[in-house]
Amino acid sequence: MSAVLGTYNRRNISFLKGKGCYLYATNGEKYLDFVSGIAVNSLGHCHDHLVQTVQKQSEQLWHVSNAFIIPEQEKLAQRLVDNTFADYVVFMNSGAEATEASIKIARKYFHEIGKPEKNRIITFTGAFHGRTLASLFAANNPEHVKGFGPRVDGFDQVSFGDHDALKKAINKNTAAIMVETILGEGGIKVLPNECLVGLRKLCDEHDILLILDEVQCGIGRTGKFFAFEWAGIEPDIVPIAKGIGGGFPLGACLVNQKVSVGMKPGTHGSTFGGNPLAMSVGNAVLDIILKKGFLENVQEVGFYFEEQLKKLQEKYPNVVSDVRGKGLLRGIQIKGDSVKFLDQLFNNKMLGVKASDNIIRLLPPLIVSKQEIDEAIIIIEKTITDF
Ligand SMILES: *Cc1c(COP(=O)(O)O)cnc(C)c1O
């Protein structure tokens, strides 16, 4: 019996420690971790630089209120601005809070410029934006919203990939289009570059904002700092979380100059958001990810991973029906029961996580080596042949 409220399906295992791409379980077994806390452990487990940073900062200062200037927060914001489309950053503690902030900032912008009627946001089927009420009803996943009505208004949803429906859904009340650059929970669906370019154009034509949710696909996961960079476009608002904290709860919302105008003192806030301990960890993650050559290596290893997975697809078309993704955000579509496949993968000492569309999601730490990819491929192949 557990005193923890039963909101999760859990595998019957716990871990004692982690190092790099490996987790060591209390049962004595070692597991190759291709979940990374769902894209959270971007630098793997217990990365030396993160361990040292937490040790040092925890002896110096943990938390002060946002009523005071926080130098670590100024530093992280400036580095995010220097390396991305953004002009300003506001810090939260999770992805849901970051997407929620995005929604607020989009609405507030149009209110500020005298167009308060522009307050609705277009979203897509299969999306995931978090579990707060607004982010929940933004994604409108029938399983997730069931029983949590009345629904939060202000979202107009269209079928993912239906360009005509999208164009028809735009009206005088539309403030923004919000979409994940790569749908994570929705089945590793990559928005093609030409679609991202098209979305940007559509937004410009209709005076609406583009919100790209990079909570899962951002922070180097695809081999660029943000996944949308592959398309050469700039969104207006980008919520981030997961990988930026490397395992420490940290979220943020990045915005451009244009949409920042409505957000004045008192319009948004978070007690914990941007505290010195979290900010030190965020800065330490950037120390590594922004190092010369780091993202190029993610691209190279990610491409190698893709090649190996595609070979498996060619070899075993009766089990693997599709290989999707970019960089180190990968999905293999299984013909058959994907949960059973994950169970067998686990029995073979490797961790993956499911996504919609019968997808096995594979998100190794960004520090994964080709050797560790080879090890994963051997385990996946064994799992396929036994399946
Ligand atoms: C995980 C996720 C969220 C929610 O993040 P939490 O930290 O769980 O609140 C939002 N958007 C996307 C795309 C995600 O993958």
pLDDT digits (tens, 9 = 90+) for 105-147: 999 999 999 999 999 999 999 999 999 999 999 999 999 999 9
**Who's near 151: CB < 8 A, 6+ residues apart?**
137, 140, 145
Q: Smallest Cα–Cα separation from 170: which of 107, 122, 210?
A: 122
Instruction: Write down the pLDDT at residue 354.
Output: 97
Q: Smallest Cα–Cα separation from 28: which of 47, 46, 13, 8?
A: 13
Ligand 1 midpoint to CA 130 (Å): 5
Contact 223, 302 (CB under 8 A): yes
Q: Which atom of ligand 1 is closest in space to residue 249's alpha carbon?
A: 7
311-324 burial string, b = 16+ CB within 10 Å, else e? Answer: ebbeebeebbebbb
What value does the mean pLDDT take over residues 261-273? 97
Q: Which two tokens stand for residue 329?
A: 């955000």
Q: Which helix (H) or strand (E) holds 115?
A: none
Taking the C-alpha atoms of residue 8 and residue 14, their distance in angstroms, rounded to an integer, is: 14
Q: Which atom of ligand 1 is closest in space to residue 97's alpha carbon?
A: 9
Average pLDDT taken over every residue of the chain = 98
Cα 143 to chain center, whole Å?
20
Q: Which residues line ligand 1 (CB under 6 A)?
A: 94-96, 99, 128-130, 180, 184, 213, 215-216, 241
Q: Which residues pair with 253 in a beta bridge?
A: 90, 239
Q: Which of 8, 35, 91, 99 to mutate to test the pocket of ligand 1 (most atoms within 8 A of CB)?
A: 99
Nearest CA to ligand 1 atom 15: 216
Question: Does residue 150 surpass a pLDDT of 90?
Answer: yes
Contact 323, 187 (CB under 8 A): no
Q: What is the pLDDT of residues 207-241, one digit of tens each?
A: 999 999 999 999 999 999 999 999 999 999 999 99
Instruction: Write down the pLDDT at residue 33.
Output: 98
Taking the C-alpha atoms of residue 374 and residue 32, their distance in angstroms, rounded to an integer, is: 11
CATH class of residue range 15-47+293-386? alpha beta
Instruction: Write down the pLDDT at residue 1.
Output: 84
Q: Which two tokens stand for residue 33?
A: 């971790």
How is the chain split into domains, by residue range? 15-47+293-386, 50-289
Mind telling me the catalytic residues?
Answer: 128, 213, 242
50-289 domain in CATH 3.40.640.10? Answer: yes
Taking the C-alpha atoms of residue 273 and residue 283, their distance in angstroms, rounded to an integer, is: 14
Ligand 1 midpoint to CA 128 (Å): 7
Place of tokens 């030190």: 280
Contact 245, 257 (CB under 8 A): no
Residue % of the chain over a pLDDT of 90: 100
Q: Where are the beta strands (DSSP E) in 251-301?
A: 251-255
Place of tokens 């307050």: 119
Instruction: Write down the pLDDT at residue 309.
Output: 98
Question: Does residue 22 surpass a pLDDT of 90?
Answer: yes
